[in-house]
Structure formats: C-alpha cells, structure tokens
Structure 1
Amino acid sequence: MDSYSDPTAVYAALAGFYLTFFIFLIAVYVVGSIFMMKIFDKAGVQGRWRAWVPIYNQMVFLKLGDLSPWLILITIVASVIPILNFFTGIASAVLLCIAAWRIGLKLQKGAGWVVLYFFLSIVWLGINAFDKSRWNPNIAPASWAGNGFFGDRTVWQGVPVQPSAAPAGGYGAPQGYQPPAAQGYAAPAAPQQPTYPQPPQGFQPPAAPQAPQQGFQPPAAPQAPPVTPPAAAPAAPVTPPAPPVTPPAPPAPPAPPAAAPDAPANGEQPSE
C-alpha cells in the first residue's frame, strides 16, 4: 500500500508541520517581546509586562511612535469584516512602520531604517534593543501632532507622554508630561542641600533670653579712668651768665722822689 494514499500519514505530516510552525511563531513572539521590552526600558516605560501582552504591546509601540494607540485596535476590530481584511492588514503595517520611524528618530536612527523594519522587523527590534543608543525625547513633534484622530492624546500611568502629543497649534507638551529618566537627556538635577546632623531625641534648645522688665536699668558701663597728662620733662639747668670782666686798673703814677737834705758846709756833720 502506498504511504501517500494513507490519510493517517498525511494527517501526521500536516500535524507535524503545523506544530513546527506554531513553535516557530511562539519562539519569534518570545524573542520579539524581549527585544521590545528592552526598547521600552530605553523609552522609560514602567512595567516590563507591557511588552508581553499581545495587541497591548503594539498599542504602547504606537504611543511611543507619536501615534494614537487606539488606531491599531481599530484596525484589528475592523479586520473581523471579511471584505476589510486586506485593507486593515495594510493599514496596520503602515501604522507600525510610521511608529518605527518615529521611534528610530528618538534612538538616533535615520529614516532608512524603516525599510529594515518593513522586511525584518525582528532584526530592527534586536538592533535597537541592544545597541548603545539612548532615548532622546527632545525631537521635533510630528506633523500630525495637532490632529485629533492620529495624534496621541492618551495618558497612561507608567508610559511617558511623548513631546509630539501637543495641543493643536502649539508644540508644548500636555500637562503631566514627564520625560523618561536615566536616559542621559534629562536636565541636570538641582544641587542637593547639605545635610546637618540632627539633635538627639528629646533635646530642648536653650530658651531665648527674655527682654528686660519695665523699669529695669541695665548696669552702667564702667567709666574709663581719667587720663593723666604725662609729666612735663624737667627743664634743662640754666647756665649762669659769666661775670663781667673788670678791666684792670691803670697803673698808679710813680711817686715823686723825696728831696735830699741839704749838705752841711765845710765838712760839718749834720746835727742830729
């Protein structure tokens, strides 16, 4: 009996094929979720579980790409209608490519990287997940930021609002915007105030001095001792004037010689 004509063998081969394909899809989904989880970490998304929930992870992906997250949900719901399956599939692919382009800009990637995402999205996710790029939220808002249908207007706890989610006619971020932390693009933190040691428990600070009562006169300040003028220096001794010099008396005139007595005549002796 030919084995190709045995239905059991055909069913077994089909079952093996579908099982292998299912395992392959599960592996691709797990790897893709790990890559998306790393990208969410760079974007500052809180809660890694968001990358593992089907459909919801694509909604967060669109939100990070400056698109309304409800667009992907609309396309999935519209795909239930058989005639719209083809168009909703194209719309979903276009939305994801636009979100990947905006996310790539925030991860320092050019617009050409969208081609890689379109053909090999798993490779695009892996490169952006593990390279050294950092999330930069300070890029120019998207051109559709003011559109009420395509622009992101949702605020989810744990998912940072992107700067392109701006009101119509302006580029300001909506109230409650918080840039992702620890990405290297946040403004520098204000310097912390120095901390001082706290007093021990039960410590009572000393009471402030009370104001003097009425009528209280504070003691007078001690008077400075009188300043005694310095004693005058003793006067220098006065040198007495020199006595006047008396001119010497003129010499007395010589006395006239006494007259000699007359000699006695004839040899007589003078009588006594």
Structure 2
Amino acid sequence: MYSDYSGSGAAYLALLLILIPIILIFSLIFYVIAAFFLMKVFDKAGVQGKWRAWVPVYNTMVLGKLGDVSPWIVLGASVATAVLSQIPVIGWIFSIVAIAVLIMYAWRVGLKFGQDWYYLLLFLIPGLGALIWLGILAFGSSRWNPNIAPSPWANTFLADKTVWQGIPVQPGAAAAGPGGYPGTGPAAPGSYPPPPAGYTPPAPGGSTPPPTAPGGPAAPGGPGEPPTAPEPPRP
C-alpha cells in the first residue's frame, strides 16, 4: 500500500511539472495581448506614455481613471481580493466588490467609445471575454469621446479626483450638462452665469447707450435735449 501512495504522489508531481510551465506560458501570452490592446486604448484616450499599459496593476488603475473611478478604489479592491481571496466568506465578498468596480469603469470606458452596455456581457466569458472587449475598443472604428453625462457616483468617494501627469483629466459634473455635452449644464464654481436675454453690453469707456423707447427708436437729439419746435408755415 505504501508503494501505491508513492506512485500516486510521483504521478501527481509529474503532472504538475508539465502543467505549471504550460499555464505560465499561456498566462504570459494572455498578459502580452491584453497589455498591447490596453496600449491602443490608452493611445485613443490621449494617455501619454505607452509604458503605462505594460505595468501590472498600474495599467488597471489608469483604466479606472478613464472610467471615472478613483484609481485608489481600483487598487484597494484588487489588493483586498488578492490578499483575502482564501478566506471563505470575506474573500468571496471582496471578489464580488472587485468585479463590481471593474464593471463600473468598464461601462464608463465603453460609453466614451460609443459602445452599448451589453458589451459588458463579454466579461461573463472567463478570461477571453475581457480580451475580446479590449480588442473591440482598441481596433474598432469608434473614437474616444469623454464628453458624456456624469457618472451616477460623480459626487461620492468612488469618483476620480486625482490628477496624474500624462493622463487627461476627464470632464466632471461641472463640465457636462444634460445630455453629456459641455456648456449645457450649471456653471462651474467661480464662473459667472450667462447674461439674460436682451442684455446690451455697455459701450467702451464706461458710458451707457441711450435707452430705446418702447414704441421705437430713441427720440432725435438724445436724452437731456429739449425737442425742436416746428417751423411756422411760410406764406
């Protein structure tokens, strides 16, 4: 019986020695393809520095910023999932939270590329789905347009308020109004509201133009001058 257990252990070890290199090779190939797709996506979004797409974890934080989610929330969800994944209940909860954060910024990035929400269903395909989604964004004909309606979490701690050099700052709630286009919403803090309809700016030098009479143009001679008496008829 002891020899049987020894034979099973040796077979199991041999199987691991075969599978581990294969898994590592496929993981490396997957990562290289995903980073290459991310590089194309970042280039479309105006991110400077192609190296950002090749740094693990950091490239996900940059994608989170483009998706209007704080990169520190993305980092926290990723680290918590990796550290606590082995705990039966807590690890499962943090895994759900990490997936929710991923879907949030992926949804926003897809909107800025003009993609509909159902493209997120690709994430239901383990591993390969996210790669297909990135490939559609990277090599599709759609252009990057950050001027969309603010995210539902724009005024919460989830929103991206960080500024990193080389990464475009995405328009916020003050820059986009109803319909998602800049200049159609409320004025940004510190700015002046638009003038009312019919407003006439003052003339150069501080003088004010004469008011217009309700029934027509101002009387000849301007305000402050008496009207001219009519000339008597000639014989």
Unaligned runs of 5+ in 2: 178-184, 191-235
Task: Map residues 21-170 of structure 1 onto 2, 5 A cutoff.
Answer: 21-79=23-81, 80-81=83-84, 82=87, 84-119=90-125, 120-147=129-156, 149-164=157-172
Alpha-carbon distance between aligned partners in 1 of 2:189 and 2:66, rounded to the nearest angstrom = 15
The Cα of 1:56 is off from its aligned counterpart by 0.6
How has the CA–CA distance of structure 1 residues 153 and 23 changed in structure 2, closer, same or farther, with 3 Å as cutoff? same
Q: C-alpha distance in 1, partners of 2:145/2:121?
A: 22
Q: Is the 8 A contact 1:164 1:171 kept in 2?
A: no
Number of equivalences: 173
Bigger helix share: 2
Which structure 1 residue ranges, 5 or more long, are not aligned? 176-272
Cα distance, 1:34–1:28 mapped onto 2, change above 3 Å: same
Deviations 1:199-235 (A, max 9, x none): xxxxxxxxxxxxxxxxxxxxxxxxxxxxxxxxxxxxx
Structure-2 change in CA distance of 1:86 and 1:160 (3 Å): same
Cα distance change on mapping 1:28 and 1:69 into 2, 3 Å: same
Which residue type is aligned with residue 62 of structure 1? G
Identity of matched residues, %: 48
Find the aligned partners of 2:189 and 2:43 in 1 and give their Cα distance.
22
Q: Distance in 2 between matches of 1:118 and 1:166?
A: 35
Aligned position for 1:265: none
- Give the direction of change, closer, same or farther, for the CA distance of 1:94–1:166 in structure 2 (3 Å limit): farther
Assess, with a 3 A threshold, how the Cα gap between structure 1 residues 166 and 50 changes in structure 2: closer, same or farther.
farther
Q: Within 5 A, what are the aligned runs for 1:233-244?
A: none
Q: CA deviation at 1:70?
A: 0.7
Larger Rg computed on CA atoms: 1
Q: Which amino acid aligns with 1:121?
A: A
Deviations, residues 17-53 of structure 1 (Å, cap 9, x unaligned): 1111111111111111111111011100001111111
User: If the length of structure 2 is used for normalisation, what is the TM-score?
Assistant: 0.66
Give yes or no for the alignment of 1:14 onto 2:16. Answer: yes
Displacement of 1:77: 3.3
* Shift in alpha-carbon separation, 1:11–1:166, aligned structure 2, 3 A: farther
Within 5 Å, which residues of 2 pair with 1:115-264?
A: 115-119=121-125, 120-147=129-156, 149-164=157-172
Greater shift, 154-163 or 87-96, is seen at: 87-96
Amino acid at match of 2:80: A
Compute the displacement of 1:8 (Å): 3.4
